[in-house]
Structure 1
Amino acid sequence: MNKRKKQSHGPQIGTVIGNTSPQEYSFLLKSFSAKLGDIVVLEMEIPSEKQTTEAYPRESILVWGRIVELERFNPFLPTESAKELSEEGIDLLDTVLSYSQDQIQGQVLVLGSTPVDNLTDLVPLNYPIEPGSIVELPPASKIKQILNGKEASARMKIGSLIGRRDVNVELLTNVLVSRHMAILAMTGGGKTVASRQVISELLKINYPLLILDPHGDYLGFWDKRDKFPDAEIKLYFPDIKVNEQNRDIVSYLISRMTRGYSEAQLEKYEDVLESVKINEKDNEKGIPIADFINRVIRVVESRMNENGDNNKMQNRTLSVVKRNLKNVLHHMEAMNTSNMQLRKRLSEYPFEAMPDPQSEPEQFIRPGRASILYLGGYDHLTQSTIVSIILKSLFDVRASMSNKIPPFFCIVEEAHNFIPSKGEGQAETPSVEIIRKIITEGRKFGCGLLLVSQRPSRLDETTLSQCNTFLIFRLVNPKDQTFIKSVMENLTSSDAKLIPGFGPGQGIISGQSVRFPLVIKVDFDEDLKPKTIGDEDFVELVKKWDSSPGAEKIRRSEIIEKGLDDLP
């Protein structure tokens, strides 16, 4: 059988060389014709499953791949010569050595194959690549067909191929919001930029969002709310209310915030808590946590009065419980004050006290609303408790099938603080349990999570491995790189080598929301950065501080200490 003349599928960029397999091949690249991460194609013949009269029927297919490695060398420039040129300071152009015989060898990871006339039907390749095949760089229109396939479901744009800005990379929206996603990168790698892009795309389709924001990274959505005319941006600050549904976790928070109880003291603490009742009226709206602690303190004082001088031993124990409860109350007040001071600095933002997620879940979750909970000023344990209370209430509402709230998507920024690994103090993190529950059962009830973190190795491995889409940006910490390899089963060794060298916004996306792993550049929207947080000029602030009221107060205080009466 004569070979059929192959069609052209784009500019020729190289030729297959060496030993090949159905999974990968090497080729010599024409200089400057392609880059690392590019999608390439070649046409070849494989054994056909069609019944014909031929003894060994064959058919033509297109094999699609991604360039995962590039090496450049010059066979006419011996190492000894290069060393001598360097030692003597001689330019290569001033010698008889060849400088124009560079060769670039590329390694291609095979993504699959399609019929020549049907680019959406991608299947695994089951025959080795033909040496000598011409490697081509397909046009954007053909790459888009390969990336999207037959799937007609809604998609969201996340960015473009790293070497092809004319080829958009889109994620399957329903897969993303139901099967969870993780965005991982070192500081400055682009994780918050990527999560803002995901949020923007979901706001455009009015998907309900809950954003847990420890540092105010997402306040830019309020600044640019006009970009989302059909959406509503709500800004909340923590306001813990205690009811019968969450009193156990609040009681746990209070106990962990103490300086530690002995066994006898803990027994008294738990006994006192058990006796504090919440009536039906208070339970409906919840009791402010400060009022709840004061109720507990009053019960302790009442018991101490009842004991009088008859049981000094018990009173000493109760006295420790009372002192610890007052310390907790002061600590809670200090954190509330800290959050309030941070909000004063952000005075242009209309923050509201968060609604009770048990009695008013619809205030958090409704179509077209993004509820941003600003957690600044609270310690790790308190933030985790607040998140646990909210997520548990919202998940329970969805799991009850009451349809009181629609499906929703939750963005968990600084996720390592809410689902730490076993070695990072899970016992001090109440949110671990509910996030694990959502990550394993949330799909059934329309509860999706986006986990964002700059320290992957500090995350709970079991929870993270349940994410079905990963977007990995630059990571240079060896522990983080090793961890990523352990939770991403389809991360190749070649792709793993790329991770430390990525620039801002460059990364690898993999999972069920894309057809195969892709090296991408995430879209960056400058408008969505908050105006007052993130890029402060601290050098300039130090210069201005000297004329501030705080500096003036210090100077006056120092003058008084020196005993000078003539104040300026």
Structure 2
Amino acid sequence: MFDRRNTERKRQIMMQYMHDDTEFMDLECTPTTCEPLSNVDNEEDVVEENSGIEGYEENVVIEETLHTSSGEVVGTIYGKAGTTYFDCRVSAEHLERSEYVSVVHDDYGPVLCQVGTLVRKSNLTLEDANDADINKIDDVVSAHVDVIGYRDNRGLLMSPRTTFRAGSKVTRADQDLVKSILGLKINPKTDGYIGLLHGHGIPVALNINELIQRHACILAKTGGGKSYMSGDIIEELMKHNVTCMIIDPHGEYGAMRDAGTKGEILELMRKTDMRSFLPPTKKAIETLREEGELYSVTDLINVLKEDGGAKNAVLITELEYIDSMGIFAKRGNRIDELVENGKTTIINLKGVPPDIQQLIVKRLATFMFELRKKGSIPPMMFVVEEAHNYCPQAEHVMSSKPLATIASEGRKFGLGLMVISQRPAKIDKNVLSQCGTQIILKVTNPNDLKAITASIEGLTTGMSDDIQSMPIGMAMVVGAGIESPLLVEVRPRESRHGGAGVKILGDD
């Protein structure tokens, strides 16, 4: 029987073994200081041997001493029993939904299962309900149990191919069986720790290579903890010296860095009727291109003045204003200069209009894909917050195609994609379906739930219910070495979280 009282103690024990010396990057795209990551071609490992997180082996030993399993009988199989589910009459005083149980199968030995739904039936009728003596009510609890599987002699997770026998005893799964069947073993060289298995306190980690090579998504409703969870994963990527770039539309990830200088938005350029500006601007640009040299905003203004200054007066005024702002440098930042081996770069787009954000994401995604194909930049993870704005399902925007290209082809070149969104139903299904690792926090919108259910294999009815009722700090995780969806108590962040909502009223 697991002990829920020790949850915080387990968290604290795990935290004693986490690195506390990781430096985080500046908001203005200043990269972190990390050791270089060895170059990787195609689908070879992204993470090679390095120190990882010290003390992982000790973590496992500690956790094993915190729990003991009695193999207590909790019920008996009755009625329908298939190869992927069975019904169980519950005899234990306490059994929870999503709890792990086991049954000894005639052909396959111990099989790990999970409680899906619980129902209590009684002989109390509607007419007698008001006057009933609770101590005299006869009732029985039944459970619908989903089968996870067993490990064959090759170590593969398999489902039974023959049914369970009615009358078989159902017991609480012991820790060793849970760890073995679910594959909960941590390799500190290649795995990133994300939290504890709910109800068991077993450390859960993601394989960094699979996380990058097969892409990932983090989905949750507003305030569900998706930015907090993504921060955990980014911390683990940084510990393993993985190169990252983060599209940060709300300026949330800057809180991960040490104190540094911040940029200041002076003023957003006012809206104008751009259509009237297009013909003369296009003509001026074509003129400058024919000359075959690099040109500036000043050159563009001069051409417009030469080509009838009066009729282009409004456009010239706007361009002169833009030129005075100094937002166009004589020498721009090269994309490959933003991506540094083993470092993390945050592209802070807070305050930038949506269409400009999409343009920036398009340019970055396009160039990174081409540069990675040539091997000009290291293998990396491209993290996109509010992904439904950059690759929406309902429409095609500037950034849709390059993100879809990375999702479908990036793994071949060591370019991983992590999409983060509060509206899964609004993300391009072609992108979401390519995410081999899914991390789901609380979601309640029916359309979003349908999108999630369609994208996750092995998601049971009970798990779908869990997604709607999960508390903050809990996540359902599958992929990156995790073969069956798990409920995970998310580990505490080591850096400051910048995604919390604004407090309107004080505590006083």
Deviation of the 1:180 alpha carbon: 0.6
Residues of 1 paired with 2:474 and 2:161: CA distance?
32
* Matching residue within 259, 274, 280 for 2:286: 274
Contact 1:121 / 1:149 at 8 angstroms: preserved in 2?
Answer: no
Q: Distance in 2 between matches of 1:19 and 1:137?
A: 20
Residue 296, structure 1, aligned to residue 313, structure 2: no
The match for 2:78 is 17
Does residue 128 (structure 1) correspond to residue 166 (structure 2)? The answer is no
Which letter maps to 2:116? V
8 Å contact from structure 1 (residues 398, 407) kept in 2: yes
CA RMSD of aligned residues (A): 3.5
Over alpha carbons, which structure has the higher Rg?
1
Contact 1:119/1:149, CA 8 A, preserved across alignment: no
The one of 405, 419, 434 equivalent to 2:377 is: 405
Aligned partners of 1:210 and 1:365 also within 8 Å: no
**What CA distance in whole angstroms lies between the structure 1 residues aligned with 2:241 and 2:291?**
38
1:156 aligns with 2:192: yes
SS in structure 1 opposite 2:378? Answer: coil
The answer for unaligned runs of 5 or more in structure 2 is 1-68
Distance 1:441 1:9, change over 3 A: farther
Q: 1:12 to 1:489 in 2, by over 3 A?
A: closer
Q: Is the 8 A contact 1:207 1:408 kept in 2?
A: yes
1:207-356 pair list within 5 angstroms? 207-223=242-258, 259-261=273-275, 266-277=278-289, 292-305=296-309, 316=311, 318=312, 322=316, 329=322, 356=333
Counterpart residue type for residue 104 of structure 1: V
Counterpart for residue 455 of structure 2: 487
Whether the aligned pair in 2 keeps the contact of 1:235 and 1:372 (CA below 8 Å) is: no
Q: What SS class does the counterpart of residue 383 from structure 1 fall into?
A: helix
2: CA distance between counterparts of 1:537 and 1:172? 37
Matched, 1:457 2:425: yes
Contact 1:175–1:512 (8 Å) recurs in 2: yes
| Structure 1 residues 169 and 122: alpha-carbon distance in aligned structure 2, compared to 1, 3 A threshold | same
* Aligned counterparts, 1:388-399, within 5 A: 388-399=362-373
Measure, in 1, the Cα distance between the counterparts of 2:484 and 2:332.
41
- Structure 2 CA distance for aligned equivalents of residues 431 and 540 of structure 1: 40
Per chain length, whose mean CA-contact separation is higher, i.e. which structure has more relative contact order (CA < 8 Å, sep 6+)?
A: 2
Asked if 1:447 corresponds to 2:415, the answer is yes
What CA deviation, in whole Å up to 9, does each residue of 1:329-350 have, x standing for no partner?
49x959x7xxxxxxxxxxxxxx
Could you state the TM-score of these two structures normalised by the residue count of structure 2? 0.75
Structure 2 equivalent of residue 111 of structure 1: 148
More deviation, 173-182/471-480: 471-480
Q: Which amino acid aligns with 2:170?
A: V
Distance 1:37 1:471 in 2: 17
Query: Distance in 1 between the 2:147 and 2:225 partners?
Result: 28
Give the Cα separation in 1 of the matches to 2:179 and 2:109. Answer: 18
Alignment of 1:390-539 (within 5 A): 390-401=364-375, 404-423=376-395, 426-427=396-397, 430-511=398-479, 513-525=481-493, 527-530=495-498, 534-539=500-505
Q: Which has the higher helix share?
A: 1
Instruction: Compare 442-451 and 457-466 and name the one that shifted more.
Output: 457-466
Secondary structure of 2:359 counterpart: helix
Unmatched tracts of structure 1, length 5 or more: 1-7, 47-59, 86-91, 225-233, 240-253, 306-314, 337-353, 544-568
- Which residue, 359, 366, 380 being the options, matches 1:385? 359
The Cα of 1:151 is off from its aligned counterpart by 9.9
- The offset of 1:454, in angstroms, is 0.6
What is the alpha-carbon distance in structure 2 between the residues aligned to residue 517 and residue 460 of structure 1?
Answer: 23
Number of residue equivalences: 433
1:193 is paired with a residue of what secondary structure?
helix
In the aligned structure 2, how far is the partner of 1:472 from the partner of 1:96? Answer: 40
SS in 1 for 2:221: coil
Closer, same or farther: CA 237–492 of 1 in aligned 2, 3 Å? farther
Q: Which residue of 2 is the match for residue 39 of structure 1? A: 100
Q: Secondary structure at the match of 1:276?
A: helix
Residue aligned with 1:157, SS:
strand
Deviation, structure 1 residue 175: 0.7
2:348 to 358, 374, 383: 374
